A and B are shown apart, each in its own frame.
Chain A
Amino acid sequence: MDLLDQLADTFFNWEEMAKVIPALLMVGLPNTLILAVASGILGSFLGLGLAMMGISRNAAARWAARAYTDIFRGLPAILVILVIGIGLSPIAREITGNRNPYPLGILALTLIAAAYIGEIFRSGIQSVEKGQLEASRALGFSYGSSMRLVVVPQGIRRVLPALVNQFISLLKDSSLVFMLGLAASDREIFRIGNDAMANTGNLSPLVAAGVLYLILTVPLTHFVNFIDHRLRTGKPEKKEPDELAAPIGKGAQA
């Protein structure tokens, strides 16, 4: 029983957990969310650009997108974060005037996310039937307008599940930014758990950090399943004016 008690104390020391929870919630959680959301949004824009380049008729654009994707998908995230975070820090200091590694951490995460998101968008856009582009162009829309109004919105809708998965992965990878050395107030979830573990010699704070990650990621995973199912089966029957409704249609005056 001694051994079990010891294990329980190592992983589930409530006292140690309780001590770290305020910092996890007040400091770690917002910082992790800032890192993940900022790089998720920026990565989506960059990824959309890469996707458009990837399907462009311009061979140079296609090649550039391909090369970018190969590089940033092929490298370990931690390597990119270190190289960008350390390599560009003199420049970043010049521009921002401080040593906060956050902007570079976000940049590195963005560059990595963009490579994956670009591929996700590209596959979605390419899955839209050719007839959609043709119909839009036949109406008189340019290629660019057709993509923007007709093809891309449909493509993105189809890959929403993959996109949320990518965000989950980003949420977890944001922990790697700790490698850049963070001031106390800049620490994200993992770093706070890790520091507390190092200080106390007890793993429980790290377990608490893990639980917090799960609280973020598990609902997202289920959200993915939900939208995946929804996209597969269509929306639940929505009330729409049909023959039984007012024959003029509710929007006649709108």
Chain B
Amino acid sequence: MTEFASGTLTGKNLHLSFGHNHVLRGIDLHVEKGTTASVIGPSGSGKSTLLRVMNRLIEPDKGDILLDGRSVLKDNPDELRQRIGMVFQQFNLFPHKTVADNVSLALRKLRKLPKEQARAEALEQLDLVGLKHKADARPANLSGGQQQRVAIARALAMKPEVMFFDEATSALDPELVKGVLALMTDLAKGGMTMVVVTHEMGFSRNVSDNVTFMDAGVVVESGPPEQIFTEPRTGRLKGFLSDVL
């Protein structure tokens, strides 16, 4: 894997409400440069929303977001999102574009690279995820696992400082999960700063440096995986772990 221009990401006291629904109630999340933080918790606990708030797809009502120690809330959100790659549960590849065009679109239009150079870089990224030979295929002709690897390549092409994974393997057939998790593990080991919202407890336990357990919009427990998985302190985490393990 290549070197990453990783950054340190911090969310401080993040709040968000949709009407009367208080989705995030003061979340703190700190991801040290080059490490992987996983976020676990029951459905509806606000994990996916937290990711969207931290790259300002949704603006927080309160709190602060720092990248390398500097608040980014006053930055242009579009520029912030160029620095944070995101991978979605449903892949969200652009179906009207080829695989290579999916990966090179932002390089061409945002980084303003000439077409050939953008394509060359896209092919390089696709090579990293093992799908260079699918460059001219349409996303619909790829398996779910392949689509997700293309989505990862698309995000990596922008050379992000942080990568978000929002339940990246939840929509995959079981036999396809492995390949995507292996790729994510490679990225983590390669020194990418990652925030991984996941139901894959194995990944959370074995790959991440820090695990955050969220429930009902608050961080219930946070710590190194050993502590979270072997010595849960709260009843809520114990209950959750006994449900999923």
Residue numbers of B with Cβ under 8 A of A are: 55, 57, 78-79, 81-82, 84-86, 88, 90, 92-96, 100, 105-106, 109-110, 116, 119, 123, 132-138, 140-141, 151, 154-155, 158
State A241–B141 Cα separation when bound (angstroms).
11
CB-based contact A140/B123 at 8 Å? no
Shortest beta-carbon distance, B217 to chain A, in Å? 21
Shortest beta-carbon distance, B91 to chain A, in Å? 8
Q: Contacts A140-B106, A252-B123, A254-B116 known; A245 to B133 CB distance under 8 Å?
A: yes
Which residues of chain A are within 8 angstroms of B88 by Cβ–Cβ distance? Answer: 131, 134-135, 138
Which residues of chain B are within 8 angstroms of A234 by Cβ–Cβ distance? Answer: 140
How many residue pairs bridge A and B at CB < 8 Å?
Answer: 95
Q: Which of A157, A234, A243, A249 counts the most chain B CB atoms within 10 A? A: A249
A-B pairs, 10 with minimum CB distance: A140-B82, A135-B92, A138-B86, A131-B92, A139-B106, A140-B81, A240-B137, A249-B135, A249-B133, A142-B78
Which residues of chain A are within 8 angstroms of B86 by Cβ–Cβ distance? Answer: 135, 138
State A153–B110 Cα separation when bound (angstroms).
18
Q: Mark A121-149, 1 if CB is under 8 A from B, else 0.
A: 00000000101101111111110010001
Which residue of chain A lies nearest to B94 when distances are taken between CB atoms in the complex?
Answer: A150
State A249–B88 Cα separation when bound (angstroms).
27
CB-based contact B119/A251 at 8 Å? yes
Contact of B96 among A137, A138, A145, A153 (CB under 8 A): A153
Which residues of chain B are within 8 angstroms of A157 by Cβ–Cβ distance? Answer: 96
State A246–B133 Cα separation when bound (angstroms).
8
CB-based contact B123/A139 at 8 Å? no
State A4–B27 Cα separation when bound (angstroms).
87
CB-based contact A242/B110 at 8 Å? no
Which residue of chain B lies nearest to A143 when distances are taken between CB atoms in the complex?
Answer: B78
State A131–B88 Cα separation when bound (angstroms).
8
Q: Contacts A245-B133, A249-B133 known; A137 to B92 CB distance under 8 Å?
A: no
Which residues of chain A are within 8 angstroms of B137 by Cβ–Cβ distance? Answer: 240-242
Which residue of chain A lies nearest to B157 when distances are taken between CB atoms in the complex?
Answer: A139
CB-based contact A139/B100 at 8 Å? no
Chain A 212-254 residues near chain B, CB threshold 8 A: 234, 240-243, 245-252, 254
CB-based contact B106/A132 at 8 Å? no
CB-based contact B136/A137 at 8 Å? no
Interface size class of A (residues with CB under 8 A): 20 to 34
Known: A149-B105, A249-B135. 7 other contacts (CB 8 A): A134-B57, A135-B94, A157-B96, A240-B134, A242-B137, A249-B136, A251-B119
CB-based contact A140/B57 at 8 Å? no
Which residue of chain A lies nearest to B164 when distances are taken between CB atoms in the complex?
Answer: A138
CB-based contact B57/A137 at 8 Å? yes
State A107–B49 Cα separation when bound (angstroms).
48
Shortest beta-carbon distance, B167 to chain A, in Å? 13
A202 sits at the interface (CB 8 A):
no
Which residues of chain A are within 8 angstroms of B57 by Cβ–Cβ distance? Answer: 134, 137-138
CB-based contact B109/A149 at 8 Å? yes
Which residue of chain B lies nearest to A132 when distances are taken between CB atoms in the complex?
Answer: B92
Contact of B133 among A129, A132, A138, A248 (CB under 8 A): A248
Shortest beta-carbon distance, A121 to chain B, in Å? 16
Shortest beta-carbon distance, A242 to chain B, in Å? 7
A89 sits at the interface (CB 8 A):
no
Shortest beta-carbon distance, B137 to chain A, in Å? 5
A154 sits at the interface (CB 8 A):
yes
Shortest beta-carbon distance, B242 to chain A, in Å? 33
CB-based contact B94/A132 at 8 Å? yes
Chain A 140-178 residues near chain B, CB threshold 8 A: 140-142, 145, 149-150, 153-154, 157
Q: Which of A135, A154, A246 counts the most chain B CB atoms within 10 A? A: A135
Shortest beta-carbon distance, A142 to chain B, in Å? 5
Q: Contacts A154-B95, A254-B119 known; A138 to B132 CB distance under 8 Å?
A: no
Q: Contacts A135-B94, A138-B86 known; A251 to B100 CB distance under 8 Å?
A: yes
